[in-house]
Amino acid sequence: MVGSGIGAPARRQRRDGALRREAVLDAGLEIFSTVGLHGASLDQIALRAGLSKTNLLYYFRTKEDLYVAVLRRVLDVWLDPLHALDADSEPAEALKRYIRSKITLSRDAPRASRLFCLEIVQGAPLLRAELEGPLRDLVEAKAAVLRGWIAEGRIAPHDPRHLVFAIWAVTQHYADFAVQVEAITGRDLSDEAFFEQTVESTQRLILASLGLS
């Protein structure tokens, strides 16, 4: 009982610390995706997170450290659906699920996509190691799955990496260019009917190119 009494405050302190760190990351995403790295200040981010700047610096020593941490979290979230593609999956259903997951993220986390897009357009100066390491490894692993499906005649021949790029380009367009989409169509992904239409249209487009329509 004594041990549990001592442990509870420590667990609560760790939990509270994790929650504060997530609050800083959330605030960083909001500010960075609006004004960029150079337009943002730690004072702005601390205010948005509901912390003092001193408390923020306990979790991240510099603005650049925070920016990279935000980008890494964005990358983890956006790449997570890709992990579900495996050799034993039925290609049409697996690709349909992947496309739906990506468009769902464009609807639910557009700021994340826009921030990542901004970093890439600027040459990814702070994220290149992630792109050339974990991201490349994941894409190559999934390219091997796609090559296996091609070899088995389960999908039409197509360069696997370009297939992944095409899916990213189409699905993330609805986050990165949401203003343009709404200006042209008068609708956005918050409209459930438009969301489903976008998913189904993109699925048909990609699957047809692979002989799966």
Please give the full DSSP string across 93-123, using - where no structure is assigned: HHHHHHHHHHHHHHHH-HHHHHHHHHHHHTT
Give the CATH architecture of domain 67-208. Orthogonal Bundle (1.10)
Helix H or strand E segment including 91: helix 91-108
Residues 6+ apart with CB under 8 A from 91: 149, 154, 155, 210, 212
Least trusted range by pLDDT, from 9-23, 73-87, 180-194: 9-23
CB 52 within 8 A of CB 46: yes
**pLDDT surpassing 70 at residue 5:** no
The ranges of the chain annotated as CATH 1.10.357.10 are: 67-208
Supply angle C-alpha 114, 83, 131, rounded to 5.
Answer: 50
Homologous superfamily in CATH for domain 8-60? Homeodomain-like (1.10.10.60)
- Pinpoint the residues of the chain covered by CATH 1.10.10.60: 8-60
Q: pLDDT tens digits, residue range 60-96?
A: 999 999 999 999 999 888 888 999 899 999 999 999 9
Q: Return mean pLDDT, the chain.
A: 92
Mean pLDDT, rounded, for 167-171: 97
